[in-house]
Each structure stands twice: as structure tokens, then as C-alpha cells.
Amino acid sequence: MAKDLLLEIGMEEVPSKFVRSSSTQLAERVGKWLEESRIGFSTVKIYATPRRFALLIRDVEESQRDEQVEAKGPTRKIAVDADGAWSKAALGFARSQGVEPSELFFKELAGVEYIHAIKNHIGVDTESLLGAGLKHIVTTLNFPKNMRWGNWELRFVRPIRWIVALFGNDIIELEIAGVASGRTTRGHRFLGEHVVITTPDTYESVLKEQKVIADFDERKALILNQIHALAEEKGWQIPIKEDLLEEVLFLVEYPTALYGSFNPEFLEIPKEVLITSMREHQRYFPVTDKAGNLLPHFVTVRNGNKEHLDTVARGNEKVLRARLSDARFFYNEDQKMTIDSALKRLDSIVFQEKLGSVGDKVRRIENIAASLASRLHVDAETTAQIVRAAAICKFDLVSQMVYEFPELQGTMGEDYARRAGEVEAVAKAINEHYQPRFSGDSVPTSLVGAAVSLADKIDTIVGCLSVGIIPTGSQDPYALRRQAAGIVQILLEHRLDITLSDLFAIAIDVLNYDQEASTGILTRLHDFFDLRLKNLLAERGVRYDIVDAVVSAGYENVVGVVARAEQLAIAVQDPSFKTATEAFTRVGNLAAKAESDQVDPGLFVEQAEHDLFQAWQAAHTRFDEHLNHTEVSAALDILRGLEVPITALFAAVMVMAEDVSIRANRLGLLSLIATDVRRFADFAKLVGR
């Protein structure tokens, strides 16, 4: 027999960003506990609103399954005394397993006999376990932030106000922080009432009557349908950012979309400011025309019904008017600020205690960017733009607008720089140098923006690693992982002719470290970027062994390592490639024994030696040229051309000949080939070669 299980934890309003993850965590823990407790069930339905986490678990078995567990004890030598009777150790093992000594038996494992016992676990009623089990799960949930209330020791995301716990028609007895379980839930804070849940399967429908849409997927569909209906009715476009929709979804229990308007005069402010103010401060959706131009309207979602929507709209308009008035004031005041005066103020903002002020950082960025421009061999005009953009890239951090809206850093810098008369490439680069800002974000489109972005990111990484700030677990206060991933993306997408070592050396030189310190920083940098590149390749779907093979061969050229990985991923699909892999691996293994790569053709004994040496001489220069130009397909084809003469050599000669000179000569030949092969990949790391 089976019954449905309902658990609802009712609370004060939970921050929206915690709701989905917390309700999912609850479901996963309850499901895992049921499985570990040998209690069967069919499905788990999650419900979540700002005021509740709830689970409806279908077809929960009414009792645990019986279980037999075989336990291993001491060896025969320890379990049996000299008279052949059970020893104290064996008798103690029997007691610990709850069996009679006569029930013990021997079983051989790896040639050694051990005593064993079969322990029977008889299943008990599910209902007798639920109270303690669910209480433990709920009270040990993890949240990003916790609070305490009253005199209770429990730390929870928000104070618990009610608990519904039903197994079939029966209440599961449990108490948490003075709140006893029952069958009474609460409807919408203003539109609903306290209501009794008679059976778990009525939970969703009963709450709907009390103006609570507990199913968040249904709630999301309602929000989207209402917004789309408004857009169609008004002829608007309403851009919907997924993160804002997610936040709104868990701010309401009974959604009703409505719209409001603001004074068109505010459209004189850059649209990014208006949109940020609406989205970040008010959780409003901006409205545009079909061409993407911002309109003086907004859409919001009310936690309630359609009554008095005009009054609600006017209230929202009043609040937004104040917000936009502040934004306009900040924007106008910022126009009085000069770039030079702003740059001086950066010296009073600490970037990092051991790395100085933001002003110090900007000066380092400028020096790094100048060296990058030289290394990339760009023209004089582009060099001047890179240096200028780097010198002023952070000036907007002291603006009132960025102080109020930190997410507008760079955006306001671009606008203010353009208004101050900076050339377009410089203004654009100020905004672009923060890119990519998050996973999946685009990289700077301009070379000027890319160069400044690289300079900023490598300065942060080298500086932080040099003073011992290294990401651990979830701790990465300076977003070094994201900065490194951004560097890799920029190098890859712009196909810049600069190696990671070049980049490291430029930044270390600007930071002016001595030789010993520089060596230690370089080691940490290589380890750090090694992992970033492996992650990048894994995200591109490259097999783990191929990732190891190409990264082990070197990753100085980011474009090259990605190209080699993708080409190798194609090559291994060909069954004939296995022979080449085996040949290259054997060459590498033997070449490891070579003391030098010197070859004397006069010491060749067999024709196969001459043939392989001539084949390598013909291939080497072409291979080197193709690989240096990231023409990896052609480079791999050239390597594969050595497969036949390599195989012929191994068939014709014993590489490890007794004659020391002949042996060294053959190893030297293999060393020459292995050096080229290792530049492409460490083929020994390929699985199934």
C-alpha cells in the first residue's frame, strides 16, 4: 500500500534569489532520505513561493522494505581459538550484528577466509520514521544567509510560521522552533485566509482558491502570457531578461501584470540608465517600440488580483518618477566632472591593500597596454588609442551615477568620454574593457577594447597571485577565474599573435618583481591557466583525454591549443588513426631514453633508417610552418605521413642495439621526431590508442 506525502514549510517572505535553490535542496534531501530509508515512492513535485517551500511526494510506501545485509568480521585465524571454538573476537562480532554465534559462517576473499553474518533488517512503518526524519532534513538545510528569531537556536533563511505535514489523511507529528505541524496552511497574505488541507492531493487546488499559485512553472507561464498580451494589445516590444523574470517569479504568489508610464523628458537620459533603474531598483520590465527604441512606459507584476490596478499603477509611477529624477540629477552633475579630475580621485580609492589604489592599477594597465600594443605590432594611431583608453578606463568609478548604479561602470564611462570629446574607439573601449563580464558574455569587438581588457585582467590576476590571493573552492573575491577565462576568450576570438608567457612577462615586468618572486608567480600563473584552458576545452565538448594530450604538449598559443584539440577530436574518430597514435607513442617512449638529438647518417645500418631520416627532413620545416600558422589539419597530415617509415623502422631494426653509437644515433633520430610530435600532442594520453 502507498500514500501521498505532503510537506510545506511556511515562512516570512524569503529573498527571491534563494527560493528555487532552497526548495530544490529540500526535495533532493527528502528524496535521498526516503531512498536510504528503503521507502519507495514514485514522483516528487516541488512547490515554491516567497512564503513557502512544499513537496508533494506520490505513492510513498507505508513501510520500509525488509533488507538482508552481509557483514564481514575477522579472519578465521582470529575468529577460531586453538580448540576450534569461537574466539572472543568472533563472539563480539556476533553480538554487534545481533545474531547467534551458530549463524556465523566463513567466506573466502582474496584467498583469506573471514567470518560473515547475515543481518536482517525488518522494515518498520513509514509513519513512525517521518517525523524525526523530516525534522532533521528541514533543520539542516543550507542557505546563503541565515537568521535567528526569538529565543530559538535554529538558524533558518526566515522565521518559520506554519508547517503542514501529511501522510495520506494523517498528520505527521513534528515541531520546529515552537511551530507544531498540522494541516492548516495560509493563503495569499492579503487575498487569502487560513485553510485546512484534508489530503495531500488537494494542496494545489486549495491554495488556488486562496489566491496562491503554488506551482512556479504555472506562475511563470501566467506572468509571460500576461506580459505578451499587454505587448500585443499596445503594439509594444517588452524585452524579458531571464534573471529579472526569475526574481519576479519568486516575489509573487498571485501574479497580475500591469503597466505604467513616466515623463518622456526622462528619455534624454541614456537608455541604459533608465533600464537599469527600472530593472535593478524597481523590478520593472522596460518597453520599446519595434525598432528597439525605449518608450516612456514600463510593465510590472503585482502580487495580487486585477482590482484597483489604476491606483497600483499610479503608485509605481510615483516611485519611478523619484528614481528617475535622482538618476537625471546624478547624470547632470556628472557632466560637470572632467576626466582629469576624476582620474586624480582614483588615487583615494583602495584597489587592494598590498597592490595600492585604483589609480595605481590604472597606471599599471596603461603600461601593460602600451607593451601589448608594441608586441601586437599595431599602427601608431591604434597604439595611441589603446594607451589613451587604458589611461582613462576607470575614471567613471568616481561618478555619482556609477556610485548609485555600480552595474553601469563602463557604460557611463563610454557615454561621458564621448561627451568629453574622446575619439569613438577610446570611448567604446572604456565600456568594452570590462567584457566578458560573466560566463557566456561576448568579448570586446574592437582591438582597442580587447587590448585594454587583457591589460586590466592580467594585472588583476598577476597582482592577486603575487600577494597570495588564490581562489579556493567558492571563494574568489576578485573573480580571478572569470578574469582568466576572459583572457582566454579574447585571445581565442581575436586570434591575437601573443602567447600567454608574453602576457605574463609583460604584467610581471610592470609590477617590477625580482627574479625569485617572478619565478614563483610564473609557476602559479601556469597552474592557474592550465585549469582554465582545460575547462574551456571541456565546455566545447572535447574529450577529457584529448584535452590532457594537447594541454600537455603546451598551451602558450591559445588559438593553437584549441585548434589542435578540435582537430585531434576529429582524427580519433577514424579507426586508422589508432596505428598512428601507437607509432607516435612508441617513438616518444624510446626518445625519452635519448641523451641528445644528434644524428649521423653515416651510422645508419638499414635502409629504413635512411628512409625515416629523409622523411623527417622533408616534413620538419613544413610541419613547423603549418603549426606556427595554426594550420593544424595540414600539420597533423604531415605527422601522419611519418607513420609508415616509423613502422618500417621498428620492423627493420632493434633500436636499442648493442653498439652504443648505433643505439645513440637511432635514439637521436627518434628524439627529433618526438620533439615535433610533442608539439602537437602527447599521444600517450589518448585512451584506447
Residues 417 and 535 in one domain: yes
- The three-class DSSP label of residue 469 is coil
Calpha distance 271→435 (Å, rounded): 20
Q: Is 512 left (phi over 0), alpha (psi -120 to 50) or beta?
A: left
Cα separation, 506 vs 367, whole angstroms: 9
**What CA–CA distance (Å, rounded) separates 176 from 497?**
62
> Which among 498, 524, 499, 503 has a CA at the least distance from the CA of 458?
503
- On whether both 409 and 435 belong to a single domain, the answer is yes
555: phi then psi, degrees, rounded to nearest 5:
-135, 25
Residue 330 · residue 401 · CB < 8 Å = yes
Cα–Cα distance between 410 and 431 in angstroms, integer? Answer: 4
Residue 535 has what pLDDT?
Answer: 86
Instruction: Establish if 548 belongs to a structural domain.
Output: no
Q: What is the pLDDT of residue 71?
A: 87
pLDDT score recorded for residue 565: 93
The verdict on 578 and 662 lying in the same domain is yes
Counting the structural domains of the chain, the total is 5
**Which residues, listed in sequence order, are joined to residue 259 by a DSSP beta bridge?**
299
Question: Residues 585, 456: one domain?
Answer: no
pLDDT by residue (tens digit) across 512-541? Answer: 877 777 788 888 898 889 888 888 888 888
pLDDT digits (tens, 9 = 90+) for 670-680: 999 999 999 99
Q: Which helix (H) or strand (E) holds 299?
A: strand 294-303
The set of cell numbers assigned to 238 is 517588452
Domain that holds residue 612: 558-685
Q: Is residue 551 part of a domain?
A: no
Q: Mean pLDDT score of the chain, rounded to an integer? A: 93
Q: Is the pLDDT of residue 576 over 60?
A: yes
Helices 544-552 and 558-571: crossing angle in degrees, nearest 10, is: 130
State what percent of residues in the chain have pLDDT above 70. Answer: 100
User: Which pLDDT score, from 0 to 100, does residue 665 have?
Assistant: 93
Q: What is the pLDDT of residue 66?
A: 84
Q: Can you give the CATH number for the domain in which 9 is found?
A: 3.30.70
Set of cell numbers at residue 629: 600558422
Q: Dump the DSSP string for 232-270.
A: HHHT-B----HHHHHHHHTT-SSEEEEEEE--GGGGGS-
Over 80: is that where the pLDDT of 1 sits? no
- pLDDT tens figures, 241-277: 999 999 999 999 999 999 999 999 999 999 999 999 9
Residue 569 lies in a domain: yes
Coil/strand/helix, residue 53: strand
Whether residue 550 is contained in a domain is answered as no
The three cell numbers of residue 655 are 633500436
Mean pLDDT over residues 608-627, rounded? Answer: 94
Same domain, 309 and 345: no
Helix, coil or strand: residue 448: helix
Does residue 545 sit within a domain? no
Encode pLDDT of 190-246 as tens digits: 999 999 999 999 999 999 999 999 999 999 999 999 999 999 999 999 999 999 999
pLDDT number for residue 550: 92
Pairing of the two strands 2-11 and 160-167: antiparallel
**609-613 mean pLDDT:** 94
Q: What is the pLDDT of residue 540?
A: 86
Q: Within a domain: residue 546?
A: no
For residue range 27-44, list pLDDT tens digits in order.
Answer: 999 999 999 999 999 999
Tell me what pLDDT residue 555 has.
Answer: 79
59 and 73 part of one domain: no
What pLDDT sits at residue 687? 82
Residue type, 57: I
Residues 344 and 369 reside in one and the same domain = yes
* Angstrom distance (rounded) from CA 499 to CA 346: 31
Grid cell of 371 as nine digits = 607593451
What's the rounded mean pLDDT across residues 377-382?
96
Helix, coil or strand: residue 478: coil
pLDDT, tens digit, 9 for 90 and up, residues 450-459:
999 999 999 9
Do 105 and 149 lie in one domain? The reply is no
Is the predicted pLDDT of residue 689 greater than 70, yes or no? no
Of 184, 209, 234, the residue that ends a domain is 209
Question: On the CB side of 593, how many CA atoms lie within 13 Å of its CA?
Answer: 13
Secondary element (H or E) of residue 3: strand 2-11
104-113, 182-191, 355-364, range with the lowest pLDDT? 104-113
> For residue 688, what pLDDT band results from cuts at 50, 70 and 90?
low
Same domain, 303 and 274: yes
Given a cut of 90, whether residue 96 has pLDDT beyond it is no
Give per-residue pLDDT as tens, 656-673.
Answer: 999 999 999 999 999 999
Residue 180 lies in a domain: yes
**Which cell goes with 482?**
572569470
Q: Are residues 597 and 522 in the same domain?
A: no
